[in-house]
Amino acid sequence: MARGGWVLAAVATGLILAAMGRQQLASTPAASTVVPKRIDIPALSLKAPLMKLGLAANGDVELPPFDKPSTAGWYTGSAVPGDSGASVIIGHVDTKSAPAVFYKLRDMRPGEIVKVLRSDGKTAQYEVDSVEKVPKNRFPSDRVYEGQGLRLITCGGAFDWTHHEYVDNVIVYASLVT
C-alpha cells in the first residue's frame, strides 16, 4: 500500500475509534446520585432519617453528631443499600441523657426485616442473618466493609468510664431480599 494509503487508513481508523469512544462514554452511566434516606426496622418500631458520613481526619469513619441522636448515618465509602457490595449504617446507642437511634439494635434477631428507603424511591429490604457483639479492639473490618449485604453498627457492652466509651460494638449483618 502506498504511503498515502497508510495515512488514510490510519486517519479512518482513528476517526472510527474516536466515534466508538464517544459512544461508549455517552452510554457509560455517571456516578450514582442515589443515596439512602431513611431506615425502617419494624421489629424495633424504628424509623430514622439517614445522613451521609465520610472519613474523619484520622481516617476513621465519621459518626453522626451527638446532637442528632435520632439520626443514623450511611458511610459513603460503602455501597448504596440495594446495590452490590457491603452497605454500612452507623448510629449511636445513647447520649449522656437518653437512648439514641440504635439503642435496641442488640435486640435484633435473625429473620427480622430492615428496610432502607432510597432517594430514587426504591426500598432495599434486608433480612437479618446474625447479630454479634465484638470488642472494639478486634473490630472485624473485613467482614463489615467487604462482601455483600447490610451492616448496622452501634456501641455496646460495658461502658468504660475512664475513656468515656463503650468497649464493644454491636454489629447486625443482613442479606438483601428485594
* Proportion of the chain above pLDDT 70, given as a percent: 82
Q: Which residues contact 67 (CB under 8 A, 6 or more apart)?
A: none
Query: Mean pLDDT across the chain, nearest whole number?
Result: 86
- The DSSP output letter for 43 is G
**For position 32, what pLDDT does the model report?**
66
Q: CA–CA separation, 44 vs 178, rounded Å?
A: 20
Write down the pLDDT at residue 96.
86
Q: What pLDDT, in 10s, does the model give residues 18-54?
A: 333 333 333 333 456 999 999 999 999 999 999 999 9
pLDDT of residue 31: 52
* Domain extent listing, the chain: 1-30, 36-176
Give the mean pLDDT of 153-171: 96
pLDDT reading at 110 higher than 70: yes
Q: What is the pLDDT of residue 82?
A: 97
SS3 71: coil
Cβ atoms of 83 and 177 within 8 Å: the answer is no
CATH fold, domain 36-176, is: Sortase; Chain: A; (2.40.260)
Which pLDDT tens digit goes with each residue over 89-106? 999 999 988 999 999 999
Q: Return the pLDDT at 18.
A: 35
Residue 6 banded pLDDT, cuts 50, 70, 90 = very low
pTM of the model: 0.82
Cα(92)–Cα(100) distance, integer angstroms: 6
